[in-house]
A = this chain, B = another copy of it.
């Protein structure tokens, strides 16, 4: 049965919130009532942040990361190693890798992975622009950092074929058991592969 709202304005605001993924009508109502209890300035700041973002956001013309400028802060930084490019699925993955502070190269954001089931083919992704970057020269290594799934592996394979004619080293981020995991509870596939792909012991692995 449809909810009875005592206010059309309230109903509209709840409807807008309920369009967001993972936000049901009860949660939407709770969020709207929370905003109603805040100062007008806070609600305006919330609203402005979204509209400004939508109007002014850019995507880096080099790596397709989200950016406030034509070239993102990472691509524009002369201290980053421009010869190493890490291929990721989306901008959350860029943030996750940046947070590790272990990578000093540049990125290339594909915007997804090849997934016939979801109707996503190579032409829907930023694969041609990656090939172009390699063609332009200066790139020595491409690191694949896609999810270790069927779709991620398919995409890695597709890109590796596209780059087969170039003198560029291809790597993939290490797969194995997570640091701190208990062997007993690790899934068989991961454990099996981590034995096959065992690494030389250095004392600080």
Contacts and interface: CB of A to CB of B under 8 A. Distances in A.
A32 B90 CA distance: 14
A54 interface: yes
Interface stretch (A7-15, A132-140, A153-161, A171-179): A7-15
Contacts of A13: 49-50, 52-53
A204 B32 CA distance: 39
- Interface footprint category on A: 35 or more
A60 B73 CA distance: 51
Given A32-B53, A99-B4, A10 B46 contact: no
B6 A35 contact: no
Given A20-B31, A21-B30, A46-B16, A73 B10 contact: no
A47 B51 contact: yes
A60 B1 CA distance: 25
Given A6-B66, A23-B31, A44-B51, 5 more contacts: A6-B95, A8-B68, A16-B49, A43-B50, A43-B51
